[in-house]
Structure 1
């Protein structure tokens, strides 16, 4: 087993996996076959993972060419995780299979189902008892008009699971899948939405730290190292990137020039790797790291971290359009006793970096959200409302036209009626999106700016 104790029954180390499974029903290629393969692999601890055609090469220092290594004689503990956090498990059928085959190995399981058309696709498998769970749906999460993207309809969220590792030790596992970027920049990048979501997560993290839990945030955060959402979680929430704690800060420009296997082994790239069969059409320099395990480094330290599920399923391809990320953690000895761990002490040690860095994060967040509100949000509300007004006017104009043409060419009145209905319905829908959703998004973003202002004023006056 991956977990270990110190002889007194208290767990010292545990192994975690986070994996975006790409489980979109009717959309994802070979969804059912891949999810079954993932479930079967997680349920067993004696799977021979590597073959001569799929074993990752080792990278020899000073060379750019990979050198093949022999497959390990035994890999019985490779997939022996203590905690598994999954994203994009959107089909109930897939979860029921996961739940059934993993029951023996993971006695404590949870699938989060709250959403509009479907749930957020988040699931947890654990060898440790689950004490409490709750789901927080992000108030800022794309637009209902982007139905072809689906983020708003699935209700992107952060799922919080309190795990009991011993009588005195609890882990707060936050499993999240933040809004996806659909472009590198501009409106379709949705950077403001992910930044708002990172802020919401940061608030939750602070409360969980105050409650005395060891906090771990995992999942597909759809944010590259150094981006604003990443900095909010690192500097404001005070979470540390487990990969960077072990391997140093990620040089994104250097990653672009690496060999594809180097990108995985040395930079933990989990997305858009050309070694992934579902992303083989991408450019090598597009490979990036979007899947994380961010931790409270005051209580936890990483022992090992690596990219998993890089192998291929025979006759199908990669397990998902992402690779998985795994890390082993060890608990640190408590420096402060529970009686001394006052709220002030916890808050003073929870955030990372100087006040200057913290203030810069707040200014950047305010600027980004304000710019989105003043440009994209205002434009979206205006054109949708004008669409409603013009559609209503055109529909009224169609009424006498239908009456007149019904006497001269009765068949054409049906066409006018049909197109008039389409114009009216789309206009009403856009009008409702402008008046209801537009106001909802605007008020949520205004509230966030006020929250950031509160933090800014406090930091300026009293420090962290």
Structure 2
């Protein structure tokens, strides 16, 4: 019996996954540093409460700087009715501070550490110790998959001090890594959601890398407001208002006034193979104060968006070729950044190893001198110097022999990838590998 051709199903239509018509997403840096963030417990509890009150409720939430599991569990208990699934991501010495909450079950998850991730010598900044990376979650929704990538890139330093940000190379490398992860998810046919505190402004090098290497992911804010400002008009801070609140004095803020100190560091990126999702709405949220403390809920505001899915995506746009491209000048800029940072690290390593060998000589000299010490207090001073010299020397040795060498190798890998992307020549790596050395 012949089939009626009019009843045949378009094979392309079968490829369109059964995904929700709306995706409501929220990203927020909670400022939840244990022992350091003021009113941490009360603020994060209120953050969880405010998320639970949102209408319509969010379906995917990414949190950054939620450092303690105690705060995570508090937020989970307050949002469990609308976001019954969640994952607290463990990383580094103190944890990565990353959390993903979801309306739907998290099918798989992983924590991908960044190869370039700060320096242990900068212990007062802490980026290396928290093990920054990308919290990844694979969420199955009906017949489709949403892959979520939540991150917190390395913070910039020396801004406004007339100095070059010494961590620009780290942040650019991290942007490259999350861009690769998002591109891979899109090539697998998943709906891609990348969110977090990227510590970058629109149009910066890291921003170009994320959007260029992300396989066509789009910034929800620029989709709705393409002419929005790139950075803060006034780079001053809010120290006066914070001090007023600490002293119990309220500080009046015009809710309708423009904030010339604000700049955009938090983002939600999205992408899908059939380009069926579009930005319906995007806004800044969590702008209210804590009802008792009268302080902001965080030192960041949330980014909230609603993506709406077309009922009839164009069949010709399904699974397009998403070859990541960047301008040649951008590749050159990245390579120059890597080269400058490699030279800096080699100088640092030379200094560290010099200090190490100097400490070895100091320890030997002190122990020999103890034999000839005329008095006990002199021997004590020599022993004291040798002990501290040994401790400092061991630290410098670990830095010079292990950490810096590890970082130089990571920089070589990063440079190879950039060169490969720029040239598209399978034989390039053999030449550059020999020239770069260690």
Q: TM-score, normalised by structure 2?
A: 0.82
CA distance in 1, matches of 2:184, 2:74: 34
**Pair 32,334 (structure 1): closer, same or farther in 2 beyond 3 Å:** same
**Pair 140,428 (structure 1): closer, same or farther in 2 beyond 3 Å:** same
Q: Does 1:244 align with 2:219?
A: no
After TM superposition, list the pairs within 5 Å mapping 1:36-47 onto structure 2: 36-45=45-54
Shift of 1:214: 1.3
Shift of 1:346: 2.8
Shift of 1:324: 1.1
Shift of 1:388: 0.4
**Pair 323,189 (structure 1): closer, same or farther in 2 beyond 3 Å:** farther
Aligned to 2:409: 443
Contact 1:278–1:321 (CA under 8 A) maintained in structure 2:
no
Instruction: Pick the aligned partner of 1:372 from 334, 341, 347.
Output: 341
Which stretch shows the higher mean deviation, 131-140 or 284-293? 284-293
Q: Does 1:292 align with 2:267?
A: yes
Q: Which runs of 5+ in 1 are unaligned?
A: 1-7, 46-76, 261-270
Contact 1:272–1:322 (CA under 8 A) maintained in structure 2:
no
CA distance in 2, matches of 1:446, 1:15: 40
Aligned to 1:334: 313
Contact 2:91–2:132 (CA under 8 A) maintained in structure 1:
no
What's the RMSD between the two structures over aligned residues? Answer: 2.8
After TM superposition, list the pairs within 5 Å mapping 1:58-457 onto structure 2: 77=55, 80-115=57-92, 117-167=93-143, 169-184=144-159, 186=163, 188-237=165-214, 238-252=216-230, 255-256=232-233, 277=242, 285-296=260-271, 298-313=275-290, 314-332=292-310, 333-336=312-315, 341=319, 345-348=320-323, 351=324, 357-374=326-343, 376-405=344-373, 407-408=374-375, 410-457=376-423
Please state whether the residue corresponding to 1:444 is helix, strand or coil: helix
Please state whether the residue corresponding to 1:40 is helix, strand or coil: helix
CA distance in 2, matches of 1:209, 1:279: 48
Aligned to 1:5: none
Which stretch shows the higher mean deviation, 174-183 or 125-134? 125-134
Q: Which runs of 5+ in 2 are unaligned?
A: 1-16, 246-250, 252-258, 428-438
Shift of 1:39: 1.7
Which stretch shows the higher mean deviation, 297-306 or 142-151? 297-306
Contact 2:152–2:196 (CA under 8 A) maintained in structure 1:
yes
Please state whether the residue corresponding to 1:152 is helix, strand or coil: coil
Aligned to 1:66: none
Q: TM-score, normalised by structure 1?
A: 0.78
Contact 2:59–2:82 (CA under 8 A) maintained in structure 1:
no
Aligned to 1:74: none
Contact 1:159–1:176 (CA under 8 A) maintained in structure 2:
yes
CA distance in 1, matches of 2:168, 2:91: 24
Aligned to 2:26: 17
Contact 1:276–1:310 (CA under 8 A) maintained in structure 2:
no
